[in-house]
Amino acid sequence: MPQADLILIHAPAVFDFRERSVMYGPVSDMVPSTPVFEMYPLGFATIGEYLERHDVRVRIHNLAVRMLIDPKLNVEQDLGRFYPKAFGIDLHWLPHCHGAIEVARLLKRLHPEIPVIFGGLSATYYAQELIEFDCVDYVLRGDSTEEPFLDLMQVLKASSVTASIQTTGSPAAALAEIPNLSWKDQAGCITHNPLSWVPDDFDHVALDYQYPMRGAFRDRSFSSYLPFKSWASYPIVASICSRGCDRNCYTCGGSHTAFDKHFGRQHTAWRDPGLLVRDITEAQRHIWGPLFLLNDLLMGGRDYSRQVIEGLRGKLINPIGFEFFGPPPGGREAGRELYQLMSRNLPGWSVEISAESHDDTVRTAFGKGHYSSTELEDTITDALAAGCQRFDLYFMTGIPGQTAKSILATGEYVLGLYERVGNDPRLRVFIAPMAPFLDIGSRAFDDALAARVSGLPAEYNLLATTLAEHRQRMLMPSWKHIMNYRSQAIDTDTLVEATYQAAFDINRAKAAAGVVDQSLAIRTGERILRARDQMRQLDELLDDHGGPSYNPSVEQTAALKALKAEFEQLSESTVAEKSELSWEYRIKPSHLLHDFGVLANQESRNLKAWLRGSLASAASPNYK
């Protein structure tokens, strides 16, 4: 089988997580992945499809999933067998800052002649620091790198360029013309080309789930293309309606201000409604799990939302969920009209809102003051009355101005909320900490950075500002120590205790409402209390062995290793069972038929490629 031109590698959050003992706690409880954060970004799919459309062969290699599935996987052997034109590593979410760099170092040791390319929002924010690493050759900046990536790959394929540009001739001149590219020549001179490729719309790519499925069949590696470890048992699939955001939430690294200030995007790029409908309907031809639409399509306006929803009429067989950033704009009547529109056109639909807090004052400080708790309760009631199959509501701890008292009042609020909706089991409520990091590029992060210089007070004190400092924090012994911030409104020990208590109270409220099975509620409650107690015991252990450190002593390492199994047990489904996040779905014969068609088509391509290779070898003068 021919080698790929580009291999996109997704690293685990911490490279040597299989050896380290870390109490990650509830940092990944609200997402499908484990604390290793093995879910690769959607950009892998859009980049791969776009480049292959332009004759650049791309392979996805989810190293994090492979390391989880096979604890004995030899990573050096796994990566040593590849010889592409380039390796690509995502640093989109900052928790991958340790694993991504360590994988780059390993690749550069195994394949010193092959360029290593980084991309993602975190890579963009830390482009200068990142490009200074010896193991990093290029950084593609911005939220839309498909076209610049193609330009770069064409240069690498068309020239003898390997790890660096050795002359000021044609290859270097070509690199200087690639938008969004940070690069360095053989002398180590760094150039940051203008971040000028920022498309006004989101129509140049295709979120085609045939691409990763084809790749898995072509490369004979199902695990390499798995989006996350448990995907086979819960095959949720995401689509996305926009890049950028119109909202300005204070701690969000994907806010309007963050995109404008750090990622070159002044306006949200919307996907054409027809193309979005195509994405969703094509995805369900092959994937039988729930469909989830990322970003709030309501920001696109009433006409945009209506075109998408009506465009899906009669085409959906999978359940679909929508991410909203609050109650629909336009007042309660407009919300009711929207939910009725969804019920008329969609066979099964759900809604997810991250309200952050039940406290209107705290939510306003966060940047979501455009609605009150009363309006939130109204929209939940109206959605359920209109036929919403499920309404997921998320709260968060550690946000601006949030005190222990506010956090601890959440459980009582949830109990009252369930009473208002008649204990409807379709409403599911969750809470999790803002962890492990306060988003780089957010207004909160930038304000805290500025406060360091000015000496003025800020909502947060930062414990890490550089990429190197964040890499160190990822090696700390628990999620409390990994956090890169300290809130002015609540000390960290109290925040941890309040988070566990609020989660316990919400679990108890769901049990009282009959929303979760009593046996499940009992198990969840016991696990929350065990996790809280384990954090207390961990603090005592660390105090006895020199305190928390990213470079622990031999004695501290041994003491932590003895707790590794319990850490791992209490760091998945900590404050809620992962199963509680799962929406119902059914596999249908049409899914199997379409997937069999993809398999048959790819097997035919594989056979043709093998025959071409065999004939080429036979024609070679060295053929024996």
CA distances from 70 to 16, 268, 328 (A): 14, 41, 45
| N- to C-terminal Cα separation, the chain | 20
Confidence of residue 212 (pLDDT cuts 50, 70, 90): confident
Is the pLDDT assigned to residue 601 strictly greater than 90?
no
Bridge partner list, 461: 486
Confidence of residue 168 (pLDDT cuts 50, 70, 90): very low
CA distances from 402 to 1, 27, 399, 431, 482 (A): 56, 18, 6, 14, 20
Q: Where are the alpha helices (DSSP H) in 159-298?
A: 170-176, 210-219, 222-225, 256-262, 273-286
Separation of alpha carbons 445 and 235, rounded Å: 35
Q: Which residue in the block uniquely carries the two structure tokens 């500025």? A: 450
| Closest by CA position to 502, among listed 481, 484, 525, 482 | 525
**Predicted local distance difference test score (pLDDT) of residue 562:** 93
- Say if CB 97 and CB 15 are below 8 A apart: no
Q: Is the peptide bond before 436 cis (omega within 30 degrees of 0)?
A: yes
Structure tokens at 421: 């909706």
Q: Which residue type sits at 433?
A: P
Is the pLDDT assigned to residue 518 strictly greater than 80?
yes
- Say if CB 274 and CB 311 are below 8 A apart: yes
**Predicted local distance difference test score (pLDDT) of residue 30:** 87
| Closest by CA position to 312, among listed 280, 266, 339 | 280
Q: Which of 392-401, 406-415, 557-566 has the lowest mean pLDDT?
A: 557-566
Structure tokens at 506: 């919400």
Report the pLDDT averaged over residues 285-314: 95
Q: Which of 5-14, 67-76, 169-178, 312-321 has the lowest mean pLDDT?
A: 169-178
Q: Which of 7-11, 312-316, 463-467, 620-624 has the lowest mean pLDDT?
A: 620-624
Is the pLDDT assigned to residue 608 strictly greater than 70?
no
CA distances from 81 to 4, 57, 85, 225 (A): 12, 17, 13, 17
| Closest by CA position to 471, among listed 84, 221, 53, 126 | 126
CA distances from 345 to 151, 314, 325, 338 (A): 42, 7, 22, 11
- Say if CB 140 and CB 180 are below 8 A apart: yes
Q: Exposure pattern of 157-193 as b/e (b: 16+ CB <10 Å)?
A: eeeebbbbbeeeeebbebbeebbbbbbbbeeeeeeeb
Q: Exposure pattern of 333-343 as b/e (b: 16+ CB <10 Å)?
A: eebbbbbebbb
Confidence of residue 162 (pLDDT cuts 50, 70, 90): very low
Q: Which residue type sits at 190?
A: I
Separation of alpha carbons 268 and 286, rounded Å: 29
Q: Which of 105-114, 200-209, 478-487 has the lowest mean pLDDT?
A: 200-209
- Say if CB 145 and CB 115 are below 8 A apart: no
**Predicted local distance difference test score (pLDDT) of residue 456:** 87
Report the pLDDT averaged over residues 295-319: 96
Separation of alpha carbons 264 and 100, rounded Å: 24
Separation of alpha carbons 361 and 400, rounded Å: 10
SS3 87: strand
Supply the pTM of this predicted model: 0.92
Separation of alpha carbons 512 and 549, rounded Å: 41
